[in-house]
Structure 1
Amino acid sequence: MLNFFGGAAARDLGLALAAIVEKGLEHAEKKGGKRNSKNKTKSFSNEPLIDQKIREFLRDNKLNIYSKARLGSAFKFSLIDKGLDKSVAEDLTAWILLKLR
Protein backbone atom coordinates (compact mmCIF):
# COMPACT_ATOMS: atom_id res chain seq x y z
CA MET A 1 0.00 0.00 0.00
CA LEU A 2 2.76 2.46 0.87
CA ASN A 3 4.48 1.74 -2.43
CA PHE A 4 1.42 3.20 -4.16
CA PHE A 5 2.24 6.63 -2.71
CA GLY A 6 5.98 6.39 -3.35
CA GLY A 7 6.14 8.85 -6.22
CA ALA A 8 9.66 10.20 -5.60
CA ALA A 9 11.06 8.54 -8.72
CA ALA A 10 8.22 9.95 -10.81
CA ARG A 11 8.78 13.40 -9.34
CA ASP A 12 12.49 13.16 -10.16
CA LEU A 13 11.66 12.17 -13.74
CA GLY A 14 9.32 15.16 -14.01
CA LEU A 15 12.09 17.50 -12.87
CA ALA A 16 14.58 15.90 -15.27
CA LEU A 17 12.16 16.24 -18.19
CA ALA A 18 11.52 19.87 -17.27
CA ALA A 19 15.28 20.52 -17.36
CA ILE A 20 15.48 18.95 -20.83
CA VAL A 21 12.56 21.07 -22.03
CA GLU A 22 14.12 24.20 -20.55
CA LYS A 23 17.39 23.54 -22.40
CA GLY A 24 15.45 23.02 -25.62
CA LEU A 25 13.55 26.26 -25.12
CA GLU A 26 16.76 28.16 -24.41
CA HIS A 27 18.27 26.73 -27.59
CA ALA A 28 15.20 27.74 -29.62
CA GLU A 29 15.31 31.20 -28.05
CA LYS A 30 18.94 31.64 -29.15
CA LYS A 31 17.85 30.85 -32.70
CA GLY A 32 15.31 33.67 -32.58
CA GLY A 33 12.22 31.82 -31.43
CA LYS A 34 9.77 33.06 -28.84
CA ARG A 35 9.95 31.56 -25.37
CA ASN A 36 6.21 31.47 -24.72
CA SER A 37 5.04 30.41 -28.15
CA LYS A 38 1.99 28.12 -28.25
CA ASN A 39 3.47 25.62 -30.73
CA LYS A 40 6.39 24.43 -28.60
CA THR A 41 5.16 20.85 -28.69
CA LYS A 42 5.15 20.82 -32.49
CA SER A 43 8.72 22.01 -33.03
CA PHE A 44 10.60 20.69 -30.06
CA SER A 45 14.13 19.53 -30.85
CA ASN A 46 14.75 17.48 -27.68
CA GLU A 47 11.82 15.13 -28.24
CA PRO A 48 14.01 12.03 -28.89
CA LEU A 49 15.84 12.61 -25.60
CA ILE A 50 12.54 12.92 -23.76
CA ASP A 51 11.26 9.71 -25.38
CA GLN A 52 14.45 7.92 -24.34
CA LYS A 53 14.16 9.10 -20.70
CA ILE A 54 10.53 8.01 -20.54
CA ARG A 55 11.28 4.58 -22.03
CA GLU A 56 14.15 4.04 -19.58
CA PHE A 57 11.95 5.04 -16.66
CA LEU A 58 9.02 2.85 -17.70
CA ARG A 59 11.30 -0.15 -18.18
CA ASP A 60 12.12 -0.14 -14.45
CA ASN A 61 9.10 1.57 -12.88
CA LYS A 62 5.35 1.38 -13.01
CA LEU A 63 3.25 4.51 -12.97
CA ASN A 64 -0.07 4.64 -11.17
CA ILE A 65 -2.45 7.58 -11.10
CA TYR A 66 -0.72 9.13 -8.07
CA SER A 67 2.79 8.91 -9.52
CA LYS A 68 1.60 10.31 -12.86
CA ALA A 69 0.10 13.25 -11.00
CA ARG A 70 3.36 13.81 -9.10
CA LEU A 71 5.36 13.66 -12.31
CA GLY A 72 3.03 16.08 -14.08
CA SER A 73 2.95 18.47 -11.16
CA ALA A 74 6.74 18.52 -10.74
CA PHE A 75 7.19 19.02 -14.50
CA LYS A 76 4.61 21.80 -14.81
CA PHE A 77 5.62 23.82 -11.78
CA SER A 78 9.30 23.50 -12.56
CA LEU A 79 8.65 25.11 -15.95
CA ILE A 80 6.47 27.82 -14.41
CA ASP A 81 9.14 28.53 -11.78
CA LYS A 82 11.67 28.99 -14.59
CA GLY A 83 9.48 31.70 -16.12
CA LEU A 84 7.49 29.83 -18.75
CA ASP A 85 3.94 31.01 -19.39
CA LYS A 86 1.38 28.94 -17.46
CA SER A 87 -0.66 27.97 -20.53
CA VAL A 88 2.44 26.78 -22.39
CA ALA A 89 3.56 24.80 -19.32
CA GLU A 90 0.10 23.18 -19.16
CA ASP A 91 0.25 22.28 -22.86
CA LEU A 92 3.70 20.75 -22.45
CA THR A 93 2.54 18.85 -19.36
CA ALA A 94 -0.40 17.39 -21.27
CA TRP A 95 2.01 16.43 -24.07
CA ILE A 96 4.36 14.67 -21.60
CA LEU A 97 1.49 12.83 -19.92
CA LEU A 98 0.24 11.60 -23.28
CA LYS A 99 3.70 10.20 -23.98
CA LEU A 100 3.46 8.13 -20.78
CA ARG A 101 0.57 6.06 -22.12
Structure 2
Amino acid sequence: MSAVAGDIRKHFKSAFGLQDAAVERLVETSRTALAQGLGALRGALDQSDADGASHWAHSIKGNLLNAGLADLAAQAEDIERRAMRGDTVTPCANLLRLDEALRPFLNGH
Protein backbone atom coordinates (compact mmCIF):
# COMPACT_ATOMS: atom_id res chain seq x y z
CA MET A 1 0.00 0.00 0.00
CA SER A 2 1.34 3.43 -0.91
CA ALA A 3 1.86 6.12 1.71
CA VAL A 4 -0.88 8.17 0.06
CA ALA A 5 -3.35 5.28 0.26
CA GLY A 6 -2.50 4.75 3.92
CA ASP A 7 -2.91 8.45 4.69
CA ILE A 8 -6.28 8.55 2.94
CA ARG A 9 -7.51 5.47 4.79
CA LYS A 10 -6.43 6.90 8.14
CA HIS A 11 -8.10 10.22 7.37
CA PHE A 12 -11.42 8.67 6.36
CA LYS A 13 -11.40 6.40 9.38
CA SER A 14 -10.49 9.07 11.94
CA ALA A 15 -12.31 12.07 10.47
CA PHE A 16 -15.56 10.28 9.73
CA GLY A 17 -15.42 7.27 12.05
CA LEU A 18 -16.14 4.90 9.17
CA GLN A 19 -15.91 1.14 9.15
CA ASP A 20 -13.34 -0.53 6.93
CA ALA A 21 -15.77 -1.37 4.11
CA ALA A 22 -16.97 2.25 3.87
CA VAL A 23 -13.38 3.49 4.00
CA GLU A 24 -12.44 1.20 1.11
CA ARG A 25 -15.38 2.45 -0.97
CA LEU A 26 -14.32 6.06 -0.39
CA VAL A 27 -10.70 5.24 -1.19
CA GLU A 28 -11.79 3.72 -4.51
CA THR A 29 -14.06 6.68 -5.23
CA SER A 30 -11.16 9.03 -4.51
CA ARG A 31 -8.84 7.00 -6.74
CA THR A 32 -11.30 7.14 -9.63
CA ALA A 33 -12.06 10.85 -9.22
CA LEU A 34 -8.39 11.80 -8.98
CA ALA A 35 -7.42 9.70 -12.00
CA GLN A 36 -10.20 11.24 -14.10
CA GLY A 37 -9.44 14.74 -12.87
CA LEU A 38 -5.72 14.47 -13.56
CA GLY A 39 -6.38 13.14 -17.05
CA ALA A 40 -8.78 15.98 -17.79
CA LEU A 41 -6.36 18.53 -16.31
CA ARG A 42 -3.53 17.22 -18.49
CA GLY A 43 -5.78 17.49 -21.53
CA ALA A 44 -6.81 21.04 -20.70
CA LEU A 45 -3.21 22.11 -20.17
CA ASP A 46 -2.12 20.39 -23.39
CA GLN A 47 -4.79 22.38 -25.24
CA SER A 48 -3.91 25.64 -23.42
CA ASP A 49 -7.48 25.68 -22.09
CA ALA A 50 -7.12 27.91 -19.04
CA ASP A 51 -10.80 27.66 -18.04
CA GLY A 52 -10.75 23.88 -18.27
CA ALA A 53 -7.45 23.68 -16.40
CA SER A 54 -8.81 25.92 -13.65
CA HIS A 55 -11.96 23.80 -13.37
CA TRP A 56 -10.10 20.49 -13.16
CA ALA A 57 -7.42 21.79 -10.82
CA HIS A 58 -10.19 23.02 -8.51
CA SER A 59 -11.88 19.62 -8.65
CA ILE A 60 -8.60 17.83 -7.87
CA LYS A 61 -7.92 20.24 -5.02
CA GLY A 62 -11.30 19.45 -3.51
CA ASN A 63 -10.79 15.71 -3.83
CA LEU A 64 -7.38 15.95 -2.19
CA LEU A 65 -8.72 18.10 0.65
CA ASN A 66 -11.60 15.67 1.21
CA ALA A 67 -9.04 12.87 1.41
CA GLY A 68 -6.97 14.76 3.98
CA LEU A 69 -4.06 15.50 1.63
CA ALA A 70 -3.63 19.24 2.19
CA ASP A 71 -0.02 19.37 0.96
CA LEU A 72 -0.96 17.86 -2.38
CA ALA A 73 -4.07 20.04 -2.54
CA ALA A 74 -1.77 23.07 -2.35
CA GLN A 75 -0.09 21.91 -5.58
CA ALA A 76 -3.49 21.70 -7.28
CA GLU A 77 -4.46 25.10 -5.90
CA ASP A 78 -1.34 26.63 -7.42
CA ILE A 79 -2.26 25.15 -10.79
CA GLU A 80 -5.79 26.49 -10.38
CA ARG A 81 -4.62 30.01 -9.54
CA ARG A 82 -2.15 30.10 -12.42
CA ALA A 83 -4.79 28.82 -14.85
CA MET A 84 -7.21 31.48 -13.61
CA ARG A 85 -4.58 34.03 -14.69
CA GLY A 86 -4.35 32.34 -18.09
CA ASP A 87 -1.06 30.54 -17.44
CA THR A 88 -1.24 27.01 -18.86
CA VAL A 89 2.53 26.51 -19.15
CA THR A 90 3.97 27.07 -15.65
CA PRO A 91 1.61 24.61 -13.87
CA CYS A 92 3.36 21.68 -15.55
CA ALA A 93 5.97 21.45 -12.75
CA ASN A 94 3.21 21.17 -10.16
CA LEU A 95 1.37 18.65 -12.29
CA LEU A 96 4.52 16.53 -12.45
CA ARG A 97 4.78 16.68 -8.64
CA LEU A 98 1.15 15.61 -8.29
CA ASP A 99 1.63 12.80 -10.80
CA GLU A 100 4.70 11.56 -8.99
CA ALA A 101 3.09 11.69 -5.55
CA LEU A 102 -0.17 10.08 -6.67
CA ARG A 103 1.11 7.52 -9.20
CA PRO A 104 1.38 4.57 -6.76
CA PHE A 105 -2.06 5.31 -5.33
CA LEU A 106 -3.63 5.69 -8.77
CA ASN A 107 -2.04 2.40 -9.81
CA GLY A 108 -3.85 0.65 -6.99
CA HIS A 109 -1.05 0.49 -4.43
Tell whether the structures are fold-level matches, with TM greater than 0.5. Answer: no
Higher helix share: 2
If the TM-score is normalised by the length of the shorter chain, which range does it land in? 0.3 to 0.5
